[in-house]
Structure 1
Amino acid sequence: MILVDTNVLVAAARTADTNHDAAAQLLQTLDEPPLVPPTVLAEVCYLLNEWGGPGAEVRFLRDLRPGGLRLAELTTADVARMADLVERYADLRLGGTDASLVAIAERLRIDRIATFDRRHFTVVRPAHVATFTLLPGITSS
């Protein structure tokens, strides 16, 4: 399983994004649909609507179907863990969305995250593995 961050989904949807090709290729070559936390879903919807209008948002939402993207559950325990992570990494300004990716990854024991955000995810130390495997294998912030 792999969790996906906002920046990968936005880049895949926006052909003008500098990371579009890498994001689109990654999503097309995954063995199974990636998990999308509700926090990421909300960010992607907002950004796509701002940049591409309602049509861009609708196209993304239609991918949340069998065989497309899968929505991950966010539990009360995840939210408590998010608070701990945001507090622990306050100097990094981790934020709730990235903290939700970590919390869900820990609960489901997922070690792969699709993200271009190397600034946060190379610093955060998850409870279940030494480090996350970050895909695609390029850097951008």
Structure 2
Amino acid sequence: MKFLDPVRTGMFELVEPTVEDVDRIHELVAGYADLPLGATDASVVSIAERLGVPALAALDRLHFSVVRPRHIPAFTLLP
């Protein structure tokens, strides 16, 4: 569980979805139903939009490379 150490030590902040995020998650899941985009990845997109986050670390890059966020043309995917 070493990958959780940065969260446990405060290096990363845990952010909860808001009611507005849930509305956006629903919109994303419906809009990308052909992908299909699940609620987990849609929640990451929604919260990233709200916080203005331009880059995401992801092992499964497919969904995040297809989804077009509202605040930027596309996410920068790390690593």
Q: How many Å separate the matches in 2 of 1:129 and 1:112?
A: 10
Match for residue 30 of structure 2? 87
Aligned residues: 79
User: Post-superposition shift, 1:68?
Assistant: 3.2
Task: Say which of 33, 43, 55 aligns to 1:112.
Answer: 55
Match for residue 68 of structure 2? 125
Larger Rg: 1
User: Post-superposition shift, 1:116?
Assistant: 1.6
TM-score under structure 2 length normalisation: 0.87
* Structure 2: stretches of 5+ with no match in the other structure: none
Structure 1 runs of 4+ aligned residues shifted over 2 Å read 62-69
Q: What is the percentage of aligned positions where both structures have the same residue?
A: 52
Cα root mean square deviation, aligned:
1.9
Q: How many Å separate the matches in 2 of 1:102 and 1:81?
A: 9
Q: How many Å separate the matches in 2 of 1:84 and 1:135?
A: 25
User: Post-superposition shift, 1:111?
Assistant: 0.7
Letter in 2 for 1:74: P
Letter in 2 for 1:94: L
- Which of 1 and 2 has higher RCO (CA within 8 Å, sep 6+)? 1
TM-score under structure 1 length normalisation: 0.51
Task: Say which of 40, 44, 57 aligns to 1:101.
Answer: 44
Task: Describe the SS at the equivalent of 2:69.
Answer: coil
